[in-house]
Structure 1
């Protein structure tokens, strides 16, 4: 939907504090904010839809990459590569989602705690690690703790090597990070 895409672009470009219906209307090239109000009861509903759109796109990209692999070790590598690739190739969506999570955490908007939790969740990664452990591909580990470590490493690789350094291709960093974790948790 045009309004949701304009909301994502507006959030990424000017941030939550300046993302008014008027600014979103300009981005969407609508003649009146009434169009936004017709479809959405307010910012919480509109921002929920924007966050859900980004999360669905990210999850679909990750799931597609992971599903192609047949071993849990390969699935973990695919997960890491897919996450880093999505964040670096879809910076507008990523920034918009970060804005929504930040405003929820700062209590600038209510009713979106579930969206922020979903954005920060490591549940699917935890499940993948646990399944890999049960299949004997990963050594005994605390799957949730390892998921948090991997999630943090992904964020830092993106922040320091891909975005700050301006390297165009995130895949080499993603593959190296995947290799590091593979070596750390593979069954011996």
Structure 2
């Protein structure tokens, strides 16, 4: 029954372009979400199309190949989807706050809190990024995006130092330390059932608030 459904979907996609757009988008999202689940649970190396197809409830890997050119193509979409979810989760929480200290706290708490709201997303992205080939153009693009975001954070810290809200330190070292601490906490959250992401986020925020704030504040 499921095999006929997959075949019918492919035929329909050819015959009805307007409907195909909607159908393909829904199926692609289903496959990407299944890939996130599989990679977070089993790891990138074991994230085969066969395992992803089972997680997505597909009868064969053919439907994945129909929507994605290969594993690298699917993995790039996994990273893009996690990035979209993270942006939508973290940015509004930062924009609600005023001042560098409050915004830094919101960034850390929200970044770790994302692991509670979407426990599989960040661990999957971290694993995918670690396994992309050095010569993969998408790796350079993704790392470039990460570097650009870090540059923005560095400049914001410098502005807070100039205003006297943050003490003197090397902003890039601090940004690197914050990112590493968040990534390590998120990875731990994905491996420990019952992990309290909110509490961990608050503790990390306290730690880096003490590490960055001016002695006068």
SS in structure 2 of the partner of residue 149 of structure 1: helix
Structure with higher Rg: it is: 2
SS in structure 2 of the partner of residue 112 of structure 1: helix
The 5 Å alignment of 1:26-41 reads 26-41=54-69
TM-aligned CA deviation for residue 15 of structure 1? 1.9
2-side partners of 1:164 and 1:48: how far apart?
A: 23
The match for 2:170 is 142
Contact 2:112–2:186 (Cα < 8 Å) also in 1: yes
2-side partners of 1:49 and 1:159: how far apart?
A: 20
CA distance 1:31–1:153, shift in 2 (3 Å): closer
1:139-166 deviation line (CA, Å, top 9, x unaligned): 2332111111222333445566x56775
TM-aligned CA deviation for residue 97 of structure 1? 1.0
Gaps of 5+ in 2: 1-28
SS in structure 1 of the partner of residue 120 of structure 2: helix
The match for 2:138 is 112
2-side partners of 1:158 and 1:8: how far apart?
A: 14
2-side partners of 1:170 and 1:6: how far apart?
A: 23
Contact 2:40–2:190 (Cα < 8 Å) also in 1: no
Aligned residues: 185
> Which one has the bigger helix percentage?
2
TM-aligned CA deviation for residue 85 of structure 1? 1.3
2-side partners of 1:165 and 1:97: how far apart?
A: 18
State the TM-score, normalizing by the size of structure 1: 0.82
Tell me whether 1:90 sits opposite 2:115 in the alignment: no
TM-aligned CA deviation for residue 108 of structure 1? 8.5
SS in structure 2 of the partner of residue 91 of structure 1: coil
Gaps of 5+ in 1: none
Contact 1:81–1:175 (Cα < 8 Å) also in 2: yes
Q: Hey, which bits of structure 1, 4+ residues long, moved more than 6 A?
A: none
Contact 1:103–1:109 (Cα < 8 Å) also in 2: no
State the TM-score, normalizing by the size of structure 2: 0.72
CA distance 1:8–1:154, shift in 2 (3 Å): closer
2-side partners of 1:43 and 1:17: how far apart?
A: 11
